[in-house]
Amino acid sequence: ALTALRHLRSGLALWGACFCAAFEAEVLHTVEAGRLLPPGAVVAVGASGGKDSTVLAHVLRELAPPLDVSLRLVAVDEGIGGYRDAALAAVRRQAARWELPLTVVAYADLFGGWTMDAVARSTAGSGRSRACCTFCGVLRRRALEEGARLVGASHIVTGHNADDMAETVLMNFLRGDAGRLARGGGLGSPGEGGALASQKEVVLYAHFCRLDYFSEECVYAPEAFRGHARDLLKLLEAVRPSAVLDLVHSAERLALHPAAQPPPPGACSRCGALASRPLCQACALLDGLNHRHPKPVRALPPGGALLTTPVPGASSLSMVLRRAGL
């Protein structure tokens, strides 16, 4: 039997090559219309081995000639035993198959010996055991910045889908985080043409293109607050199928208000990375960890291994997979 997905606007059931061609054409249109990647850009693609980053890398590889950009895969080794090794193996297979250069940066090397397993042990029983994803998100972003610097990238792109974005918006509502909601709920640049690809669309594209990706859930994910937002979103979708896109579009409209625009970022006083405060989030989190369990290796020294020259465009690091009409 043929597997197809009905286009939300046209109502057409697209499958196989037709679906993939439409998917790629809409990404191309969105990138060109929004001038997201200028000709000659060196693009660091955040490669986790999961479906979203795999689809993003594959689509951009197909679109690299008409866009006139060059791609570099950047993967992050968070140091999660029994999980990350398998995911990195998938990334290495992708890099070999697509003939794309791959750079792997590790938390242990960048952050004074700290890995996510070590962070989890340090925070266990402290009331912060559910904060692993918060630590990891901040540190992974910094690691991607460093990877981009190492490969000489001018832009960083990461893969997301509409379900992820709706969960993020919902989490900010539940936390009462008015600042993030006013800036678009954490979606990145708003109003760049069209809706996000749904999780189903991303999975179907990977299926039709026979993409090899890693599908296991992180061992720390069950502790994350995001899981509760995901469960709530599923309940909302059951009574209102448009709930995902409604949440995303609401956050985008909030971000269009002039008062919601954040001030230009400054530089971290310690490591020089982009920051909205004197000390960036990564340095602040590492200070807390080192206060509890000092490490013999220096963490984030001034002018050290981490980013001291900001990547152009790094204030808007994430180009989400936006596609008009889906």
Q: What are the residue ranges spanned by the domains of the chain?
A: 11-323
Write down the mean pLDDT value for the chain. Answer: 80
Q: Residue 77: its pLDDT value, please?
A: 96
CA atoms within 13 A on the CB side of 217: 9
**Residue 47 assigned as binding residue:** yes
Asked if the 11-323 domain carries CATH number 3.40.50.620, the reply is yes
Could you tell me which of 14, 1, 2, 27 has the C-alpha nearest to residue 194?
A: 27
Q: At a CB cut-off of 8 Å and minimum separation 6, what does 279 contact? A: 268, 269, 270, 287
- Return the higher-pLDDT residue of 324 and 74: 74
- Say if residue 159 carries a ligand binding annotation: yes
Over 80: is that where the pLDDT of 65 sits? yes
Residue 324 has pLDDT above 60, yes or no: no
Which residue did the predictor score with more confidence, 89 or 190?
89
Report the C-alpha gap between 52 and 27 in whole angstroms. 14
Identify which has the larger pLDDT, 185 or 51.
Answer: 51
Residue 258's pLDDT is what? 58
**Choice between 62 and 1, residue whose per-residue pLDDT is larger:** 62
Vertex 251, ends 248 and 254: CA angle to 5°?
150
CA atoms within 13 A on the CB side of 40: 0
Under the banding of pLDDT at 50, 70 and 90, the label for residue 197 is confident
* 52 has pLDDT over 80: yes
Tens digit of pLDDT for each residue in 83-111?
999 999 999 999 999 999 999 999 999 99
Q: Binning pLDDT at 50, 70 and 90, where does residue 220 land?
A: confident
The per-residue pLDDT for 262 is: 63
Confidence at residue 187, expressed as pLDDT on a 0 to 100 scale:
52
Between 71-75, 129-133, 269-273, the lowest mean confidence (pLDDT) is in 129-133
Question: Annotation-wise, does 191 bind a ligand?
Answer: no
- Which among 276, 255, 266 has a CA at the least distance from the CA of 178? 255
DSSP collapsed to 3 states, the chain = CCCCEECCCCCCEECHHHHHHHHHHHHHHHHHHHCCCCCCCEEEEECCCCHHHHHHHHHHHHHHHHHCCEEEEEEEECCCCCCHHHHHHHHHHHHHHHCCCEEEEEHHHHCCCCCHHHHHHHHCCCCCHHHHHHHHHHHHHHHHHHHHHHCCCCEEECCCCHHHHHHHHHHHHHHCCHHHHHCCCCCCCCCCCCEECCHHHHHHHHHHCCCCCCCCCCCCHHHCCHHHHHHHHHHHHHHCCCHHHHHHHHHHHHHCCHHHCCCCCEECCCCCCEECCCCCHHHHHHHHHHHHCCCCCCCCCCCCCCCCCCCCCHHHCCCCCEECCC
pTM of the full structure: 0.81
φ/ψ (deg, to 5) at 196: -80, 155
Highest mean predicted confidence (pLDDT) among 6-10, 43-47, 181-185, 308-312: 43-47
Alpha-carbon gap, residue 181 to 183, rounded angstroms: 5
- Would the annotation count 48 as a binding residue? yes
Tokens 């992820």 -> residue: 164
- Closest Cα partner for 24 from 51, 55, 70, 69? 55
- Contact between 69 and 57 (Cβ < 8 Å): no
Greatest Cα pair distance in the chain: 60
